[in-house]
Amino acid sequence: MGDFKKLNGRPQLKEGKRTKFINVRFTEDEYKEVAELEKELALSKTDLIRMRILSDAKKTVINAKELIKHLDTVGAEMGRIGNNINQLAKHANTLKLRGALNPTVVERFNQLFEDYIQIQQLLEVSLRKIIRAMGS
pLDDT tens for residues 46-102? 888 888 787 765 555 566 788 889 989 999 999 899 899 889 889 989 999 999 999
Is-contact 81 116, C-beta < 8 A?
Answer: yes
Angle at 82 between CA 77 and CA 83, to 5 degrees: 100
Look at the alpha carbons of 54, 57, 62, 63 in this order and tell me if their dihedral is positive or negative.
Answer: positive
pLDDT at 94: 93
Query: In which band, very low, low, confident or very high, does the pLDDT at 129 lie, cut at 50, 70 and 90?
Result: confident
Range list of H helices, 1-136: 28-41, 45-54, 57-60, 64-98, 103-135
Please give the Cα distance from 25 to 114 (Å, whole number).
52
Query: In which band, very low, low, confident or very high, does the pLDDT at 10 lie, cut at 50, 70 and 90?
Result: confident
In this structure, the chain runs to a length of 136
pLDDT at 3: 62
Model confidence at 6: pLDDT above 70 = no
Average pLDDT score over the chain: 83
Using one digit for the tens of pLDDT, what is the confidence trace for 11-21? Answer: 777 777 888 88
Model confidence at 108: pLDDT above 80 = yes
pTM exceeds 0.75, yes or no = no
pLDDT at 73: 92
> What's the N-to-C CA distance of the chain in angstroms?
63
pLDDT at 31: 93
